[in-house]
């Protein structure tokens, strides 16, 4: 079955760049059916959608992170990645890579059906 696995540094210094990669295994990232997303959860807090990418490169970002965020895809490696610049302590969170599954044509109706285990990223001062 399809699995998602996050990887990347668990510690990033403030003002530097947070980079994470999600590897999709057991299925194709280019299936065309799904979008691939990042979601984060601050310690002891709720969930925050970061953004998504389609295998063809189309992206949609959370407006609150636009300007600092880049999500990219490497179909040859079945991976998609997150890059967040100028991080602060407020970016400390567990980061999940998640599959966005269709429910009709309009993406606003879609839901997050498959989650990676998550990786904790701590921003140090």
Partner 1 sequence: QSVLTQPPSVSGAPGQRVTISCTGSSANIGAHNVVHWYQQFPGTAPKLLIYGDNNRPSGVPDRFSGSKSGTSASLAITGLQAEDEADYYCQSFDSGLSGYVFGTGTKVTVL
Q: Which residues bind partner 1 (CB under 8 A)?
A: 46-49, 60, 62-64, 96, 101, 103, 108-109, 111-118
Minimum distance from CB of 114 to partner 1 (Å)?
8
Q: Which is nearer to partner 1, 56 or 109 (CB)?
A: 109
Minimum distance from CB of 60 to partner 1 (Å)?
8
Q: Which is nearer to partner 1, 49 or 75 (CB)?
A: 49
Minimum distance from CB of 15 to partner 1 (Å)?
23
Q: Which is nearer to partner 1, 13 or 98 (CB)?
A: 98
Q: Are 73 and 79 in contact (CB under 8 A)?
A: yes
List the structure tokens of 114.
């498959």
Judged by DSSP in three states, 30 sits in: coil
Terminal Cα distance for the chain, rounded? 40
Q: Which is nearer to partner 1, 75 or 115 (CB)?
A: 115
Q: Are 17 and 92 in contact (CB under 8 A)?
A: no
Q: Which of 93, 89, 111 is nearest to 102 (CA)?
A: 111
């Amino acid at each position: 079955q399809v699995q998602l696995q996050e990887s990347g540094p668990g510690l990033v210094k403030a003002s530097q760049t947070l980079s994470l990669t999600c590897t999709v295994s057991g299925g194709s990232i280019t299936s065309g059916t799904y979008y691939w997303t990042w979601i984060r959860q601050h310690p002891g807090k709720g969930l925050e959608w970061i953004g998504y990418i389609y295998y063809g490169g189309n992206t949609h970002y959370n407006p609150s992170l636009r300007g600092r965020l880049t999500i990219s895809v490497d179909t040859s490696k079945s991976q998609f990645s997150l890059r967040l610049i100028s991080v602060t302590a407020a970016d400390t969170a567990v980061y999940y890579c998640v599959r966005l599954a269709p429910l009709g044509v309009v993406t606003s109706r879609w839901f997050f059906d498959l989650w990676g285990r998550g990786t904790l990223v701590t921003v140090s001062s």
